[in-house]
Chain A
């Protein structure tokens, strides 16, 4: 009985913490303006949509990754998947929830684009260092 209560509480708390954590990652990156170059590559001009997420992640995988960024993008990838489940199930019945999931999915794409920009800058720095040596 005790273990069952702990399990239910843990899952409820986990969902709350995880969603808030992902939104804090997004909120920290949303102020970062995208460079013209990344806007061209990703096709994100003003606002991003959830449909572009997979494409931006594919572009991300082409760049050398940094260990400190890995956790963030994996968490956002999981959050994006979770939003997809909500969108395909409960959100079909509640229009306001559908609009919210769409907005959140777009912000996930923006987070991925900001991470892409950082990785491009990192790769450029590495290349410049190699040229110097």
Chain B
């Protein structure tokens, strides 16, 4: 289980820089890498109303592969083999369902102008088309027509190839709940007639906000998740980053705020290993290691570097999104030295962030920065004003500040 997760995490992380797939050893790894691509391309061809069929075809393809490879051994080019079988199954299934004759063929004839139906019927599984399909699928799934939890669930299933059990674990719920949630979401996509397509250019900015928000939630689900499965948490984060990178590959969605969000996710992820308690050192402990106690040698400098690159790209133009402010704060946290200047800057960024995007968590972080920049007394006074008595972190911060020696 663990090995399986980590291979996908590794593959996703490598996808940050390279669009080409890594050499793969097992069918499971292939499943993780190719399932979502197949579903995206097939749904793109036949429409979202056939999304479940697309999932069935992809699952069935892997089942066939498991049986045949078990008996005959793995083919020389497993990925190509999978796509050939997927194509055959797609044609077969849609033909059997009569949809092929009634709908698909006329459509193909209309566009291709050809009479020979099967010759014209070609599913394009080229890397470029897979990327385009996934991008279009991302916009289709991230539609305000369905609730955000369902958007995340669908993204995980259809774009990241997560199993229902994994999604259930990430949300700390059961498979039945997730199945129901996804079913309702797919129904909604059908009835609302959501198209697998990019919105027209003038609508992209508004729709992109929602897509970015879902990626942000997906990342947070991993980074702050309650699940104890560390590997799963990490995977959610990598997938969020991968979807963000996908957006930067298309001019219309490669916006400053897209890069700001990526910078933010890279900076946070750079501390992933440092905040995980090592079993040998702190047996049985589940809490994350807080920033102050982190060993900065465990910070991932490669990711910090990437974050800085995205941050630079985010500064083009005059947009200032909450992602910009959060990314800037996260970048300052990549400097371990505690200087008054650093905390003053962090405080001002939090002040700005709260003006455009209030949340209790940000308010508490701002109060901590206020303590670092302006001192304990002022922080305690401001903390009382927050009226967050029921909040666990409020109590932690209050106790922490009270125990400090007064200046």
**Is the A/B pair a real complex?**
no
Chain A interface residues (CB < 8 Å from chain B): none
